[in-house]
Structure 1
Amino acid sequence: MFRDVSSCNTYNYGDALYWDARYVQEAESFDWYQRYSSLRPFVRRYIPTSSRVLMVGCGNALMSEDMVKDGYEKIMNIDISSVAIDIMRRKYKHFPQLNYMEMDVRDMSFFPDKSFDGVIDKGTLDSLMCGSDAPISSARMLGEVSRLLKPGGIYMLITYGDPKVRMPHLTGSIYNWKIALYIIPRPDFEKPAGGSSNSHLEPVSITGTGILPADFVLEDPDSHFIYERTISEPTGEKPVKQAFRVPFVEVDSGL
């Protein structure tokens, strides 16, 4: 299992103090990677509007507001930054569909097992993957996500991480997971004339080790990847907290 340093810098993205300082300076709303308008086809396909949704690492993004305007009724938003949570609580105090709590995704023990129908993650796992303890942190987070999802629940991961660096983390569970992968270009990407005819709304076949089809053309070299993981509890096994095993750690230099 690797630490992903391909898009990391020297900041400690797993540290609440870093995010508190950032949100003090950058209080205006900001959506990482994609806006809801681009993600809507995938969200609506997998997560019904009546679902109880957990938005991990919500920050000061507009996505939860946009989802409420699209009919979603129950969204719990959590973030490690008390500054971000205070900002969002004040901003959305008149939105009964939205709740906000300060919480670390590596320990969501406040919530009982099988609390949510869907978990949406737009950049939170990526932040943990930049830390020196990336395999441990990601295992704890994904174990908690597994614990909190109801059977048939969806974990939707929107990430810059290509399958080779994300699939080893997403397949290491005691649960039977079904994974669908979608690849979409950045919002500002301009498709060249005569470019690929790939449909962004169709899943891309993938192996368990993250190998894409040999003939697949990545339209945008800096595309974003959407992983849809459906959970089904295997017969005879009970879910446990932090179910992911922590493997031997290797560091990928990104070279």
Structure 2
Amino acid sequence: MAGPDASDELPEFGEGHYWETHYEKAAEEGENLYDWLVGWTELRWLLEPLMGFDTRRAVLHLGSGNSPLPEDMYDAGYHHQTAVDISEVVTKQMSERNQASRPEIQWRAADCRNMAEICSESFPLVVDKSTLDAFFCNDQHALAIAEFIKEAFRVTSVGGAFISVSMHRPPAVLPWLQHHAFRWTVQAVPIDKPRPESSGRPGRCHCHAYICGNKRRTAASLEKHWLRLAHRVREHPDSDLSGSDFDASSDSDSQDGEAEL
């Protein structure tokens, strides 16, 4: 089963119900694993330095699906992993698949926009591989993206990192990640690899890894700037933060208080 390219129409990728149906069909067609964009081979040189090459550190995967990335990281020695996906079908499949061979990976069915069961600042490394891309396809994408990034920021420990691997280019992504509410330091790293022959599309797959460092206390940043962003995305849930009306640099430091979406 082939995955989509950046140029494809993806009208339902931002909806949870789509993924439940997708993974049910994938299982019927014999698809056990599928790697969106890039995998451990392409990302290892980025991920291991972010973890200080310390295999004891905990890793959280957001929207893990049936990607082999958690398995490959486990086999490389990183056993303390939690993989979250909105699809109960794929979470159950991956849990059963790895129960005997990789028992320390925890597979949880949850919405990455509201992970109440995940403690704040509990993961030194949080990984998103194309889940942000899915939220760009949501009918209310501004609201969906803001909720997703807020949760990613909340669960990343101080001194830790959130890495988002996306087919979207920096002008579309950076205004979100660099918003005052999150106080991340952000680096965009281009990545490409040859497309598999089975994709039917010659050439290379281009994407970016957005590496976000969390150097300040989560609560302080959210309390100071979240209220205004939350108001904006509620009022304009399908708007583009990179547009003039949503320029992150225009947020005033005088805005106080916290709003829960």
Q: Same fold (TM over 0.5)?
A: yes
- Tell me which amino acid in the other structure corresponds to 1:128: F
1:206: which partner in 2?
none
Distance in 2 (alpha carbons) for counterparts of 1:239 and 1:73: 31
- Tell me which amino acid in the other structure corresponds to 1:15: E
- State the number of aligned residues: 217
TM-superposed CA distance for 1:65, in Å, is 0.4
Instruction: Indicate which of 79, 90, 93 corresponds to 2:85.
Output: 79
* Contact residue 117 and residue 149 of structure 1 kept, 8 A: yes
Distance in 2 (alpha carbons) for counterparts of 1:140 and 1:86: 25
Instruction: Indicate which of 165, 171, 175 corresponds to 1:168.
Output: 175
1:33: which partner in 2?
37
1:250: which partner in 2?
239
**Are 1:237 and 2:220 an aligned pair?**
yes
- Tell me which amino acid in the other structure corresponds to 1:33: L
Distance in 1 (alpha carbons) for counterparts of 2:49 and 2:207: 18
Note closer, same or farther for the CA distance 1:8–1:169 as it changes in structure 2 (3 Å cut).
farther
2:134: which partner in 1?
127
Note closer, same or farther for the CA distance 1:159–1:10 as it changes in structure 2 (3 Å cut).
closer
- Gaps of at least 5 residues in structure 1 are 1-5, 190-219
RMSD, aligned CA: 2.6
Distance in 2 (alpha carbons) for counterparts of 1:149 and 1:15: 24
User: Deviation per CA, 1:126-174, whole angstroms, max 9, x where unpaired?
Assistant: 0011111111001001111111111111101111010010011111142
Q: Which runs of 4+ in 1 moved over 4 A?
A: none
User: Deviation per CA, 1:76-113, whole angstroms, max 9, x where unpaired?
Assistant: 00100111011011101122220101000110111121
Note closer, same or farther for the CA distance 1:239–1:32 as it changes in structure 2 (3 Å cut).
same
The 5 Å alignment of 1:194-233 reads 223-233=206-216
- Gaps of at least 5 residues in structure 2 are 1-5, 197-202, 242-261
The 5 Å alignment of 1:67-216 reads 67-94=73-100, 95-188=102-195
- State the identity as a percent: 24
Task: Give me the TM-score of the superposition, normalised by structure 1.
Answer: 0.77
Distance in 1 (alpha carbons) for counterparts of 2:218 and 2:66: 40
* Bigger relative contact order, structure 1 or 2 (CA pairs below 8 A, ≥6 apart): 1
TM-superposed CA distance for 1:238, in Å, is 6.0
User: Deviation per CA, 1:32-76, whole angstroms, max 9, x where unpaired?
Assistant: 001211111011121242211110111011110000011102110
* Contact residue 158 and residue 218 of structure 2 kept, 8 A: no
Note closer, same or farther for the CA distance 1:60–1:18 as it changes in structure 2 (3 Å cut).
same
- Tell me which amino acid in the other structure corresponds to 1:143: K
1:15: which partner in 2?
15
Note closer, same or farther for the CA distance 1:64–1:10 as it changes in structure 2 (3 Å cut).
closer
Note closer, same or farther for the CA distance 1:225–1:113 as it changes in structure 2 (3 Å cut).
same
* Contact residue 157 and residue 214 of structure 2 kept, 8 A: yes
* Contact residue 175 and residue 232 of structure 1 kept, 8 A: no
TM-superposed CA distance for 1:8, in Å, is 5.7
- Tell me which amino acid in the other structure corresponds to 1:34: V
TM-superposed CA distance for 1:236, in Å, is 9.0
Decide which moves more: 179-188 or 50-59: 179-188
* Contact residue 91 and residue 108 of structure 2 kept, 8 A: yes
